Amino acid sequence: MRLDLHNHTFDYREPNDKFLKKDIEAIYTTKILYPSLDGIAVTNYHNVGNAFTLKEEFPQFIIVGCEYRVVEKNFPVHVVCLNIEDKHHQKLMSARLRGILYFISLLKNENIPFYLTRVAWGIPINDKVIECLYQYFDNFYAIDVANISTERESLFAKKIASYYKLAKVGGSDNLIAHYKQKVYTEFACESIDEALQDMQNARTTVGTLYTPETKQHKSWWYIGKEIYQQHIHNAANARRLSPEFGNFSSTFENKYFFEIISQSQHVYKLEKHEKKIEKLEKVFIDYLRWKKTQEIFNSDLSAEEKKDSWVKCLKEINSSFDL
């Protein structure tokens, strides 16, 4: 069974609960039919409206979920919750302001499947934060390792999964039809409920597939520099030939020029984020070695046992983090 466990239907800055019929049809075609998926989770930020709408249309395929930013010592911990009901959502919206350990305890009490995602997004690098990361990784049983927007972050997540023995899950992160790359989590079972239980037992694999091109308009994010330049060239020629069309082409240039600038700034932010993850990983590994060394040598083990445990521990760290 293949499930895409991470999808947004809108940008978190522009929430929208309304779906057009063509949008729903496009989602079914490109997200379920073409990739031959058995189900998808709709996991918008702090919102379950679209998820319930799609669940009504395709009850056998849609998993109602939500991505919550849990506030932990002034930095966000991103947690995706699955198979939730509206009553759960209201509780979780309040619980997310009370820290990650309280939030996870509520999830476990309500038997709600969940996993950690965006493992390093928005996290400052300091001693208190690193200590928090060390403590809360142990409280998860699954982690998103295949977020297609940040490869470096996905690699870090895979290393965390390896060290903490967490289930690896993945999702495409979007329900936009023109995205060809799809990420799925595969389970050795036949129902969604069984699959989510397998996720808790770390019995998962993650894969990637591609869907055919759709007829929908592509985002300018995916249009190459040469194609964009050709549009500008054509618009400039049209302006020279027709003053009336020139006004349109000028508007065309301005609109997409600013969109390209905006996307370029986004790429720049992602590049900075990638460098930050690299630094975060190094600092976390150093802390992990120090912390485990402290725990081992402050234990009641004999000197020889401490030495053996310490060597084994360092080997495990080095192996998990490819050192």
Res. 52: pLDDT tops 60:
yes
Helix (H) or strand (E) holding 186, with range, is strand 181-186
Query: What mean pLDDT is predicted for residues 239-249?
Result: 46
Query: What mean pLDDT is predicted for residues 33-59?
Result: 85
pLDDT at 149: 60
Q: Which CATH superfamily is domain 2-210 in?
A: Metal-dependent hydrolases (3.20.20.140)
> What's the distance, CA 294 to chain centroid?
33
Q: Which two tokens stand for residue 221?
A: 């994010």
Res. 196: pLDDT tops 90:
no
pLDDT at 169: 93
Task: List alpha helices for the chain, DSSP H.
Answer: 21-28, 49-57, 86-95, 100-109, 127-136, 151-164, 192-200, 225-241, 243-297, 303-320
Higher pLDDT residue, 295 or 253? 295
Residue 46, SS3 per DSSP: coil
Question: What is the Cα–Cα distance from 154 to 221, expressed in whole angstroms?
Answer: 21
Query: What mean pLDDT is predicted for residues 95-113?
Result: 94
Asked if residues 153 and 23 have their Cβ atoms less than 8 Å apart, the reply is no
- CA dihedral in degrees (289, 293, 294, 298; nearest 10)? 160
Res. 224: pLDDT tops 50:
no
Query: What mean pLDDT is predicted for residues 85-90?
Result: 92
Query: What mean pLDDT is predicted for residues 166-179?
Result: 75
Distances (CA, A) of 136 to 96, 115, 124, 152, 322: 14, 12, 16, 21, 22
Res. 62: pLDDT tops 50:
yes
Asked if residues 51 and 66 have their Cβ atoms less than 8 Å apart, the reply is yes
Asked if residues 104 and 138 have their Cβ atoms less than 8 Å apart, the reply is no
Question: What is the Cα–Cα distance from 293 to 287, expressed in whole angstroms?
Answer: 10
Residue 208, SS3 per DSSP: strand
Q: Which two tokens stand for residue 204?
A: 């998962």
Res. 219: pLDDT tops 60:
no
Q: Any idea what the Cα angle at residue 169 is, between residues 164 and 174, rounded to 5°?
A: 140
- Whose tokens are 């370029």? That residue is 264
What global pTM score does this model have? 0.78
Query: What mean pLDDT is predicted for residues 224-251?
Result: 47
Quickly count: other Cβ atoms within 10 Å of residue 234's Cβ.
Answer: 12
* Residues ≥6 apart with Cβ < 8 Å to 241: none
Query: What mean pLDDT is predicted for residues 191-207?
Result: 86
pLDDT at 227: 45
Question: What is the Cα–Cα distance from 184 to 173, expressed in whole angstroms?
Answer: 10
Question: What is the Cα–Cα distance from 67 to 93, expressed in whole angstroms?
Answer: 10
Task: List alpha helices for 32-85, DSSP H.
Answer: 49-57
Average per-residue pLDDT in the chain?
A: 78
